[in-house]
Amino acid sequence: MLQNANVDASALRLVAFGQRLFRGRFMDGMQWYDSLLDQVLLKTAAATGGQWFCELGCGFGRHLARLGDAGYGGEYTSTGIQLGRQLGIDVQAFDFYDQNSYAMIRPRSVVFTCAAIEQLPSADAVFEGLRSQKQNVVAVVHLEQTYLKHRRFTRLGHLQNTYIERADYNRDLNVLLQNQPDIELLTVDYDIIGLNPLNPHSLFVWKFRM
């Protein structure tokens, strides 16, 4: 990801790792992001006995396409559902706020979200929906842009929190994750990558206590 002398400078952009900025090609950042997600999903499935990968808020299923027949997802928009199905991806109608939608989750599923919860005013509905199907959920992975009011102390961190406030993105995912008595956090890695350096992703892996 660091600047290479053989790369045209006009093709470079800023990418954040933690609270540090680097210049790199956007496509290299995307490949790193995708590789990270795939590794986390496969590792989580191996550790928890997961057999399926279910992405909620999956769009047309870009991430699911890499998971083959083991991947399926839910999407709110009709265009996302239609395009995903045209591409041969198992995309079903889903609404984060409709608890009945979560009945689509198959037994022994690793459920994941990527840049989807950031669009919700509160993540409460997500936890309640997943809780209603917890017998089918072996683990949950979030690779989400996250508001970290009390964890960002650098100038860049202040800009990141301000960006989320101004855009009115979700601000309670991290807080809620820390305060659910029936949830066991397995992995927390804040600001792991920011393809938009002002809106970086954090990684959370958790499971329900049974």
pTM above 0.95, yes or no: no
- Exposure class string for 84-112: b at 16+ Cβ within 10 A, else e: beeeebbbeebbbeeeebbebbeebbbbb
Inform me whether the pLDDT recorded for 6 exceeds 70.
Answer: no
pLDDT given for residue 184 in this prediction: 97
The hierarchical CATH code for the domain 9-208 is 3.40.50.150
Q: CA-CA distance, 96 to 105, in Å (whole number)? A: 13
Q: CA-CA distance, 103 to 95, in Å (whole number)? A: 11
What single-letter DSSP state applies at residue 42?
H
What single-letter DSSP state applies at residue 200?
-
Q: Which of 172, 167, 113 is nearest to 148 (CA)?
A: 172
pLDDT per residue over 33-79, tens digit each? 999 999 999 999 999 999 999 999 999 999 999 999 999 999 999 99
Task: Kindly indicate the confidence band of residue 210, based on its pLDDT and cuts at 50, 70 and 90.
Answer: confident
Q: CA-CA distance, 207 to 130, in Å (whole number)? A: 10
> Residue 179, Cα to own-chain centre: how many angstroms?
19
For residue 177, which amino acid is it?
L
Q: What percent of the chain has pLDDT over 90?
A: 85
Q: Which two tokens stand for residue 105?
A: 């989750």
Work out the mean pLDDT of the chain and round it to a whole number: 93
Q: CA-CA distance, 86 to 175, in Å (whole number)? A: 38
Q: Which two tokens stand for residue 194?
A: 């920011």
pLDDT per residue over 139-176, tens digit each? 999 999 999 988 888 999 999 999 999 999 999 999 99
Q: Which of 59, 78, 33 is nearest to 200 (CA)?
A: 33
